[in-house]
Structure 1
Amino acid sequence: MMQIRTKKSEVTRERILSVAAEHFAAHGYHQARVADICRKAEANQAAVSYHFGGKYELYEESLRYALELANAKYPLPVDQSIQAEERLKLFLTAVCQRIFDESEGSLFPRMMVKEMADPTEALETILRDLVANERDTVIGIVREILGPKATEEDIILSHLSIVALFQFFNFSRSIRQLLQRKMRRLPPNVENVIDHTIGFALAGIHHKQAEIAARA
């Protein structure tokens, strides 16, 4: 009997987390309502307090949950034996696929848009604990491609420029959806977007390589 109750409790927790991630992605933390989450998850509000502690703790856990889903569906490159430019291509492909995903793969990028527009205390946790691996991955790739003569400024500016390429598509999500709905525009071809983004990123990196070589 105890096993049955434990399993039921775990199922309830997972269901609340799944609904909460989608709800926070759609409404942001401040506009989200625990009552709405519980109603859709078919759970009482006491279950949120029992499993998570409160709305804020549920939000933080939802961010972690959404990132785990994104990492599972579109993993970042970790094999250091792969040539650096190829790892950059794999990185950009994974991140762009997350942004254009129409299901759980896009939950974390969508939550990030809401968080950046109306920050909470979780922003520090996100930057320190959740996206640190993503940031360190691309910085490491850029550092390797640019070589030992690159300055820290070269590396950081290149990193920021690469991030900006794909984050535009994330932050312009509502505009894209509006154009598709009101002006009957077709959704972008994701493969074309990925190829274009990779091409731009590599062109920028190669330009920076030439600039560094000219300084030497």
Structure 2
Amino acid sequence: MTVQPDSGTKARLLAAAREHFARRGVKESTVRDICAQAGANVAAVNYHFGSKEKLFMAVLMDFLEKAQDQFPVLMGLGQDAPAEDRLKAYIRSLLYRVMGDGDPVNEKLGQLLSGEFIEPSPDFGIVTERFITPHHEVLLGILREMMPTADARTVHLCAAGVVGHCILFENAKQFIRQMYPDISLDKLGVEYVADFIHRFSLAGIARMAEHG
């Protein structure tokens, strides 16, 4: 008779890794410490996930899945809503997902996710395929609707501008706090920043649409 591994081990490893990665980062977190907190054998990470790096990707996917449930990409709007409204919903959703919900662990995981956008890990492709690409396709669809005569490059550049603007407020928040404390994300709040990025994006999209 084959002895099956503890069905709760994988969940405990995921929970322990979530806390360790948020507190210490990926490089400083060790498999031994994660397994000790989870009450698991040190071989359990390789058995359930393949490596510490793949465990980190599993943590990010769990984080994104929960964030997606809490802040869906269109924030409850239907596909029949005006494109401008769907664009604002997309911006709000992205800001809330990268900023977190006030939980310090989620906030740190959001920062680690933002870091992956800048310097992706070798295993980040699975996260991109499952979460990032589908969300980005929603944004591209909105922009194509708003810029029906624009070429693909212009649409992609506008999408990069929208996403980049959102990520900037999270990735550069320490710098913004020092240089321009009155416009930091935690000072203004997500709703204010989302409204600004939305209005700024609408102006840029309109101008780009004029040029085809």
Q: Fold conserved (TM > 0.5)?
A: yes
Greater helix content: 1
The residue correspondences of 1:10-25 to structure 2 (distance < 5 A) are 10-25=7-22
Task: Find the aligned partners of 2:107 and 2:135 in 1 and give their Cα distance.
Answer: 15
Task: Find the aligned partners of 1:27 and 1:116 in 2 and give their Cα distance.
Answer: 19
1:122 aligned counterpart, secondary structure: coil
Shift in Å, 1:27: 4.2
Letter matched to residue 30 of structure 1: K
Which residue of the partner structure matches residue 132 of structure 1?
133
Task: Find the aligned partners of 2:19 and 2:174 in 1 and give their Cα distance.
Answer: 16
Deviations 1:173-214 (A, max 9, x none): 4446x75xxxxx9932212212212211122112222333xx
| Equivalenced residues, count | 200
Task: Find the aligned partners of 1:42 and 1:189 in 2 and give their Cα distance.
Answer: 42
- Whether 1:167 and 2:167 are equivalent positions in the alignment is yes
- Whether 1:74 and 2:75 are equivalent positions in the alignment is no
Q: CA RMSD in A?
A: 2.9
Unaligned runs of 5+ in 1: 180-184
1:87 aligned counterpart, secondary structure: helix
The residue correspondences of 1:172-191 to structure 2 (distance < 5 A) are 172-175=172-175, 179=178, 187-190=186-189, 191=191
Unaligned runs of 5+ in 2: 179-183
Task: Find the aligned partners of 2:199 and 2:60 in 1 and give their Cα distance.
Answer: 31
Which residue of the partner structure matches residue 201 of structure 1?
201
Structure 1 residues 195-204 or 33-42, which shifts more? 33-42
Which of 14, 26, 31 is 2:28 aligned to? Answer: 31
Letter matched to residue 127 of structure 2: I
Letter matched to residue 205 of structure 2: I
Contact 1:26 1:110 in 2 (8 A): no
Seen in structure 2, the aligned counterparts of structure 1 residues 106 and 131 have a Cα distance that, compared at 3 Å, is farther
2:50 aligned counterpart, secondary structure: coil
Task: Find the aligned partners of 1:140 and 1:162 in 2 and give their Cα distance.
Answer: 13
- Whether 1:111 and 2:112 are equivalent positions in the alignment is yes
Seen in structure 2, the aligned counterparts of structure 1 residues 53 and 152 have a Cα distance that, compared at 3 Å, is closer
Question: What is the TM-score with the length of structure 2 in the denominator?
Answer: 0.79
- Whether 1:88 and 2:87 are equivalent positions in the alignment is yes
